[in-house]
Amino acid sequence: MALVIAGERSGVGKTTVTLTLLASLCRRDRLVQSFKVGPDYIDPMFHQHVTGRPCRNLDPVLTSEAYVQQCFARHSQLSEYALVEGVMGLFDGVKGSREWGVGSGDEGAGEAGGEELLINDQCPTDFASTAHIARLLDLPVVLVIDCSRLSGSVAAIAHGYRSFDPRIKIAGVVLNRVGSDRHLSLLKDSLEPLQLPVLGVLRRQDNITIPDRHLGLVPTAELPELNALINRLADLGDTCFDWQHLLPLLKSEPLPHASHLPHLPSSPVRIAVARDRAFNFYYQDNLDLLQQLGAELVFWSPLEDAAIPKDVQGMYFGGGFPEVFAQELAENTSVRDAVKTAILQGMPAIAECGGLMYLCEQIIDFEGKSWSMAGVLPTSAVMGGRLTLGYRRAVALQDNLLVKAGTTVYGHEFHRSHLTLNPTQPLFETSRYDCEENMGCEGWGLPANVHASYVHSHWGESREIPQQFLQECRKLASIETWK
């Protein structure tokens, strides 16, 4: 058993409710494992800050339905309580083109009307939605409703969500942004005929605000007052929830013995992982896979360190906000030069989105100022107002550092920059995940030891990707360890 926190739409306060629950549970010294639906990096940072445990992403587009189930089972059973934060509105997803028929027990079920095809006929765009995850994991849902601009209509919303898909078990509602006692009375009177439990009431809060910017919330590493905010959330959580009904729903059954990572080789390959305020978009499962496959991860900061780590055989630059810290990155000339030298001398490097931007010649920020970067790629990244967002199906156009030509990779893009020059030999031809709309070619693979792309990937169902990367890193190690 565990619980899904869902919203009737985006912006209703799912993250605030989730963090409030987590903060209050952890104040009680409860061991909690959290999960996040979708390809989110920043919300899981907040989860981990509160619980002290890495939050796990549940996304059947990036992985598979089976992987979502396995990931949840593996990690939830290592804790006392488990909580899943949803994405967008409860039924907001995509067309289930990749997974039709999966899990039906019949390879031909996608054409013959199997279970998943039936699901998508009923709600053709809810694949990878919060509702889809709740069905996959057979978990009850708590629906968060923004009550700031409604009273009696709350019952119509709650009834609609409860009846829309009878396979979804709505355990109750949390009423958020309630204005007054009179307002609350009107809401409860409206809900009473539904016999749907009110599991929490959050009043309008002026002192609980998480700042955001052009790609969502500001990451935890940039919020010096975060601990005070979490304490206020814990105070709120102690009084605003019906814990008598919530705790049994949140309870999970711990395994008698926690599993451990496999024993690493005596001489593992060392990978320098850029992790600081500029680069912090990583799926914990990706990092775990690298370790399980024999990597020793060496975390370092292109912002603050004077040099790249010694004795490493590969580099991994995740996404993040290099545009926000472009001046500091530019001023650290010794590291920029060292990164360029190492890559040009053959060190394998993965660079996703923000990492790609760092390997460019320049970043041109929102104000039009140019900042020099590592200069590995003969192009510049220009910030703009247009948001590129969505799941991608990417087909490799050539053999490259991570995959062979013809391989299909599923990932997502989320950025407000574009490149001044596109590669002449791109890594991928990309299209939208849920239709055949071509999104063009992208990704840099020259020099051949670089994989630089705007597409973020989750390797949970694709162990061959980190395996291939580490194989190339070991080739370098067999020649000469980088000093």
User: Can you say whether the dihedral through the CA atoms of 72, 320, 333, 449 is positive or negative?
Assistant: positive
Please give the backbone phi and psi of residue 65, each rounded to the nearest 5 degrees, phi first: -60, -40
In this structure, the strands spanning 408-419 and 456-457 are antiparallel
Decide: 322 and 281 in contact? Cβ < 8 Å.
no
Task: Report the b/e string of 373-411 with b at 16+ CB within 10 A.
Answer: bbbbbebbbbbeeeeeebbbbbbbbeebbbbeeebebbb
**Is residue 353 annotated as part of the catalytic site, yes or no?**
yes
Output Rg (C-alpha) for the chain, integer angstroms: 23
Burial grade of 452 (CB within 10 A; 0-12, 13-18, 19 or more) = buried
Q: Which residue among the candidates 55, 353, 360, 473 is catalytic per the annotation?
A: 353
Both tokens assigned to 375 = 């200069």
Q: Any idea which residue has 């994989």 for tokens? A: 451
The answer to whether the beta carbons of residues 392 and 455 sit under 8 Å apart is yes
User: What six digits make up the tokens of 144?
Assistant: 């968060």
**Residues taking part in catalysis:** 353
